[in-house]
Amino acid sequence: MNAILEQIQKAIEQGHSQETIELVRSAIRDGVTAKEIVEEGMFPAMKVMTEGYKNGDGDIPRILTTARCIRKGFDIIEQESEGYRQKKIGKVILGTVEGDLHDLGKNLVGLMFRSSGFEVVDLGVDISEKQFLKAIKENPDVSIVCLSSLLNTSVQEMAQVVKKLRRNPNRTYKILVGGGAVTRELAEKMGADAYTETAADCAMLAKKLVEESTEEAKK
């Protein structure tokens, strides 16, 4: 692997945001592509962090500093990489459901989608069924709707929103759910199209879902 990509990964894992910015800038100047920086430098750091979290050895301050470094690196790519103007794979609407104010996981999901080439409409936290439906109406080209919930008390609300989103006669999107209060079993029960445990996996899965929908539409 290109040495600078390894350095980017290390800087992010260690939470050094200024160093991340300088390394990403320097990689762009040296002709490393945005795709390589994201997929071989930033993505692996994110993966290490979310795996750690899954196994119980990721702490919140560490998650925050990692997310901040990725965010900063990504800002530099958007501002300075000519080659970044890639065609968007699809559009994602993302929000934490009503009653729930947790947003760290949702923000990571948003970052992963953006760095995988999706356009992201982040509605924020405490988002009602009405607000999700309004956003879908305003973005008829949406391909994925993502709901996040960390509270058991909000899972009911999430199930309600999923039910409504499924019934939409103009549905062109897949529904993806996640967050600490959601399990695969719950996701299936509420009728979501997909669930992943971590942010790192969900953008990959969404890419697959969008490709499958495009294939189906061609038939």
Q: Which residues in this chain contact ligand B12 in the complex, by CB under 6 A?
A: 50, 60, 63, 99-106, 108-109, 146-148, 150-152, 176-181, 196, 198-199, 202
> Is the separation of the CB atoms in 143 and 214 below 8 Å?
no
Distance in Å, CB of 209 to ligand B12, minimum: 11
In 10 A of CB 33, how many CB atoms?
17
> Is the separation of the CB atoms in 59 and 79 below 8 Å?
no
Which lies closer to ligand B12 via its Cβ, residue 35 or residue 52? Answer: 52
Distance in Å, CB of 192 to ligand B12, minimum: 9
Where is 111: in which H helix or E strand? helix 104-115
Which lies closer to ligand B12 via its Cβ, residue 70 or residue 76? Answer: 70
Residue 91, both tokens: 């559009």
- Rounded to whole angstroms, what are the CA distances from 4 to 28, 42, 43, 68, 219? 10, 11, 14, 19, 44
Sign, CA torsion 148/154/158/159: positive
Which lies closer to ligand B12 via its Cβ, residue 69 or residue 176? Answer: 176
Query: CA torsion angle for 13, 204, 125, 55 (degrees, to 10)?
Result: -50
Which lies closer to ligand B12 via its Cβ, residue 11 or residue 162? Answer: 162
> Is the separation of the CB atoms in 164 and 196 below 8 Å?
no
Distance in Å, CB of 85 to ligand B12, minimum: 27
Which lies closer to ligand B12 via its Cβ, residue 28 or residue 203? Answer: 203
Distance in Å, CB of 163 to ligand B12, minimum: 16
AA letter at 129: E
Where is 84: in which H helix or E strand? none
Distance in Å, CB of 155 to ligand B12, minimum: 8
Distance in Å, CB of 46 to ligand B12, minimum: 8
Which lies closer to ligand B12 via its Cβ, residue 81 or residue 148? Answer: 148
